[in-house]
């Protein structure tokens, strides 16, 4: 364990319904302002009035990327912001030492939808955009933009993808495979995802209220989160600011059900335990957990039970931030990891927006109001279809003996 | 990557399409012609899973399960992967259950949003394969799905070996799988990747397809049971290195020197001389416009190691993003049996006893990989 290089976060970039920058995101959180709004991206008879975490503005204009999908634009925007935030330049690293690992599910699904619609109407169907439909396209675009010719992967672990991508990023640095990893997640709204979750009766008609007694489901969102990971030694050598130490991660599978979580949250509990073990910390060291907290009937109690099983009668402060930006699928774990790091930096706990009365079946007391707090160690948890779970654990700079 | 990705292979199994392309009518809205492809034959299709189990599964899931079952059955005297947290799953698949995703979308188009069927949506999520493997076999360890075109299987393999190296699992079950769906055929034909000539592919042979005939699509699955080096007494083979990279350009111009550099890097990582490689197994797909890069790389490598035998396998599989998994299975069998499996077509040289196989792949999108399997 001691020989393992510390993996630190030196840059972050974000886009979600809560904003296009770290500051906009945190401002929304501090002010308790939800980014959920009526869908405007496409017409939908059944889902058009459901509040969604739709990103406002023109993603293509923001990214400056010629062509590409909505997901590609989000990914490039967030990656560029993270790259700048880390103070990286092409001179900082050899091309084959830079890696990109993004979680992604839907990619350019809007192109697939458009193509099939035209085919169905017997119109001329142009296949050119179909090459951009693959979810790996966003990862490629980011690698091309920064000339990163090292390891490249698109992780598709459902809604646990973002956290899993961060774990893989750690693996790459620890294995000596990369010096810098751009890791995170991206996804964008489309008809398949919205109608899919709605067909499962998982979408709330009035916006998600995680852990609330009257919660009626989730709110689908979109966006991207990208973190720059590198070894602490390298970060110090190039004089980079360290935002946090990604000290531990855990990844498990429930092997229980194709879409529902194991009701006692056993798989998630194990993922969080592994993250603590990886970090060499006891449960009592954790000050805050950014929960997956979708607001669905099944997720919230399972997650709460997992937290109680691991942390006991006095768990750390917990909140779900899903009502700020909706559930951004593969991007969720990355966006929420960034929020977790921001919480450590700003020494404040994001509120569990939308919470009025905690469901009596939920053995937790999520933090309902924004509040300052001393936070040294924080965790972000994610669950996904198929029973995929991931947990990542961050420590605030100054809470460990840093490399000189 | 170097030594950190070394792992022993104790089980291997594959599900290959039938021996010759099968032709089906193209969708009338797209073309009035017949489209050949390498597809699972009827007997294999029927054997995938009992009907009760397959009811809610897509074909990709059933294919992955069948391949993993074959790999487990092949474990012989080695300890098979156990249920629980000690077994990790790492799957590479470019398109996973895209068939179910398209059905979901077509229902929306034909019947409106009331036509949305939950089961097709659940299966459309790309980790449906890896999580179904976990469900079927009870594997609760790390569970990862890589969906990155022709890097998917190689990434899954790297991650499986890494998990073992880090001591996070006792076994890693690694699988590469692709189930061919009509939508992918439409895409490939409209972009000119695939031809209509139903003759079997003959990569790197004198029997070239006509210009513009491209290659033929295919499908299949291969699975491997990995353990940490030395964990089992008699592994089938050892994965020594896997090196995979993407291009930094859209539609890149491929260069022989770049491709050779990748291969040489892999040999250096493996601390291996080219002269010790008994077989160079390449992913040439029979497209005359594309096979030339493979021919050039093979020529240059043979100029340095005269006895190097060169083999191809895509006449068995057709062309798809994770076909390299099926090539890898042939490489494992070659090393395990110290002889090239009869299905592999040797296009250069005369292989002797096989101690080491170098696999090399490149795609038109510029994804390329080199893997070394050793005794």
SS3 annotation, A303-362: HHHHHHHHHCCCCCEEEECHHHHCECHHHHHHHHHHHHHHHHHHCEECCCCCCCCECCCC
pLDDT value of position B2? 40
CB within 8 Å of chain B, chain A residues 101-160:
104-105, 112-113, 116-117, 119-120, 122, 125, 127, 130-131, 134-136, 139-140, 143-144, 147-158
- Asked whether the beta carbons of residue B146 and residue A153 sit closer than 8 angstroms, the reply is yes
Q: Is the pTM of this model over 0.95?
A: yes
Interface size between A and B, measured as CB pairs under 8 A:
211
CATH fourth-level superfamily of B2-233: Thiolase/Chalcone synthase (3.40.47.10)
The secondary structure of B143-211, three-state, reads: EEEECCHHHHHHHHHHHHHHHHHCCCCCEEEEEEEECCCHHHHHHHHHCCCECCCCCCCCCCCCCCCCC
Q: Is B3 on the interface with A (CB under 8 A)?
A: no
> Which residue from B2, B141, B244 is facing A252, i.e. has the nearest CB?
B141
- Could you tell me which chain B residue has the CA closest to the CA of A193? B121
Given the residues A47, A135, A159, A208, select the one marked as catalytic. Answer: A159
This complex has an ipTM of 0.97
Residue reference for tokens 């972009």: B191
Convert A367-379 to b/e letters by CB count within 10 Å (16 or more is b): bbeeeeeebbbbb
| pLDDT for the residue numbered A318 | 98
CB proximity under 8 Å: B 107-126 to A: 108-110, 112-114, 116-118, 121-126
- Give span(s): CATH 3.40.47.10, chain B: 2-233, 238-374
pLDDT of residue B54: 58
B302: left (phi over 0), alpha (psi -120 to 50) or beta: alpha
Nearest residue in chain A measured CA to CA from B95? A134
A25 and A19 in contact (C-beta within 8 Å)? Answer: yes
CATH class of B238-374: alpha beta
Low-confidence ranges of chain A (pLDDT < 70): 1-2, 403-404
C-beta of residue A342 within 8 angstroms of C-beta of residue A11? no
Q: Name the DSSP letter for residue A49.
A: T
User: With contacts defined as CB-CB under 8 Å, which chain B residues touch A387?
Assistant: 131, 134-135, 143
**Which residues from B are below 8 Å from A150, CB to CB?**
245
Note the helical H segments in A200-251: 232-237
Is residue A327 annotated as a catalytic residue, yes or no?
Answer: yes
| Model pLDDT, residue B1 | 37
Name the residue in chain A with its Cα closest to that of B159: A168
Per-residue pLDDT of chain B (375 residues; tens, 9 = 90+): 343 479 999 999 999 999 999 999 999 889 999 999 999 999 999 888 666 665 678 999 999 999 999 999 999 889 999 999 999 999 999 999 999 999 999 999 999 999 999 999 999 999 999 999 999 999 999 999 999 999 999 999 999 999 999 999 999 999 999 999 999 999 999 999 999 999 999 999 988 899 889 999 999 999 999 999 999 999 999 999 999 999 999 888 999 999 999 999 999 999 999 999 999 999 999 999 899 999 999 999 999 998 899 999 999 999 999 999 999 999 999 999 999 999 999 999 999 999 999 999 999 999 999 999 999
């Amino acid at each position: 364990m001691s020989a393992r290089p510390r993996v630190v976060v030196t840059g972050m970039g974000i886009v979600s319904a809560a904003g296009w920058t770290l500051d906009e995101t945190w401002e929304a959180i501090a002010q308790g302002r939800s980014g959920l709004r009526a869908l405007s991206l496409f017409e939908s008879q059944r889902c058009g009035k459901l509040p969604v975490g739709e990103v406002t503005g023109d993603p293509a204009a923001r990214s400056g990327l010629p062509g590409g999908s909505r997901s590609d634009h989000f990914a490039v925007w967030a990656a560029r912001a993270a790259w700048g935030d880390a103070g990286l330049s092409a001179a900082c690293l050899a091309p084959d030492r830079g890696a990109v690992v993004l979680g992604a599910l839907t990619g350019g699904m809007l192109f697939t939808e458009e193509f099939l619609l035209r085919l169905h109407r017997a119109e001329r169907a142009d296949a050119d955009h179909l090459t951009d439909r693959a979810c790996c396209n966003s990862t490629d675009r980011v690698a091309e933009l920064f000339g990163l010719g090292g390891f490249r992967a698109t992780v598709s672990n459902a809604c646990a993808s973002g956290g899993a991508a961060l774990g893989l990023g750690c693996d790459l640095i620890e294995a000596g495979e990369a010096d810098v990893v751009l890791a995170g997640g991206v996804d964008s709204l489309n008809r398949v995802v919205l109608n899919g979750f709605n067909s499962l009766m998982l979408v709330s008609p009035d916006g998600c209220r995680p852990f609330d007694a009257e919660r009626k489901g989730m709110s689908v969102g979109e966006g991207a989160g990208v973190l720059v990971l590198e070894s602490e030694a390298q970060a110090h050598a190039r004089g980079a600011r360290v935002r946090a130490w990604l000290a531990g991660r855990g990844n498990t599978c429930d092997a229980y059900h194709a879409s529902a979580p194991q009701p006692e949250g056993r798989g998630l509990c194990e993922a969080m335990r592994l993250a603590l073990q990886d970090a060499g910390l006891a449960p009592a060291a954790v000050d805050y957990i950014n929960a997956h907290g979708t607001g669905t009937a099944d997720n919230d109690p399972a997650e709460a039970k997992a937290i109680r099983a691991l942390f006991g009668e006095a768990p750390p402060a917990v909140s779900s931030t899903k009502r700020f930006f909706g559930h951004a699928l593969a991007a969720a774990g990355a966006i929420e990891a960034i929020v977790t790091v921001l919480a450590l930096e700003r020494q404040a706990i994001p509120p569990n927006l939308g919470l009025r009365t905690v469901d009596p079946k939920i053995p937790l007391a999520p933090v309902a109001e924004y509040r300052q707090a001393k936070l040294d160690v924080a965790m972000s948890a994610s669950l996904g279809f198929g029973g995929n779970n991931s947990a990542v654990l961050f420590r605030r700079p100054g809470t460990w003996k840093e490399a000189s | 990557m170097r030594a950190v990705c070394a792992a022993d292979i104790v089980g291997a199994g594959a599900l290959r399409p039938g021996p010759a392309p099968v032709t089906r009518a193209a969708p009338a809205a797209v073309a009035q012609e017949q489209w050949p492809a390498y597809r699972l034959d009827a007997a294999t299709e029927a054997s995938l899973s009992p009907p009760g189990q397959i009811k809610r599964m897509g074909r990709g899931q059933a294919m992955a399960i069948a391949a993993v079952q074959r790999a487990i059955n092949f474990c012989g005297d080695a300890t098979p992967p156990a249920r629980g947290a000690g077994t990790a799953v790492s799957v590479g698949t470019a398109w996973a259950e895209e068939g179910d995703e398209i059905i979901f979308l077509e229902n929306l188009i034909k019947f409106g949003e009331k036509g949305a069927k939950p089961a097709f949506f659940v299966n459309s999520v790309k980790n449906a394969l890896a999580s179904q493997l976990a469900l079927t076999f009870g594997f609760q360890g790390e569970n990862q799905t890589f969906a990155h075109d022709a890097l998917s299987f190689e990434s899954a393999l790297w991650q499986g070996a890494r998990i073992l190296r880090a001591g996070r699992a006792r076994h890693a079950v690694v699988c590469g799988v692709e189930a061919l769906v009509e939508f992918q055929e439409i895409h490939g034909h409209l972009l000119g990747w695939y031809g209509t000539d139903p003759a079997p592919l003959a990569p790197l042979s004198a029997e070239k397809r006509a210009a513009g005939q491209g290659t033929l699509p295919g499908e299949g699955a291969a699975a491997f049971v990995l353990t940490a080096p030395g964990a089992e007494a008699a592994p089938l083979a050892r994965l020594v290195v896997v090196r995979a990279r993407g291009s930094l350009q859209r539609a890149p111009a491929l260069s022989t020197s770049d491709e050779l550099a990748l291969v040489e890097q892999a040999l250096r990582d493996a601390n291996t001389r080219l002269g010790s490689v008994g077989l160079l197994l390449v992913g040439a797909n029979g497209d005359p416009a594309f096979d030339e890069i493979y021919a050039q790389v093979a020529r240059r490598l043979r100029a340095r190691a005269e006895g190097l035998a060169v083999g191809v396998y895509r006449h068995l599989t057709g062309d798809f993003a994770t076909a390299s998994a099926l090539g890898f299975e042939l490489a494992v069998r070659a090393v395990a049996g110290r002889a090239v499996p009869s299905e592999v077509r040797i296009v250069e040289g005369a292989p002797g006893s096989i101690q080491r196989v170098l696999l090399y792949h490149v795609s038109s999108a510029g994804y390329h990989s080199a893997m070394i399997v050793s005794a």
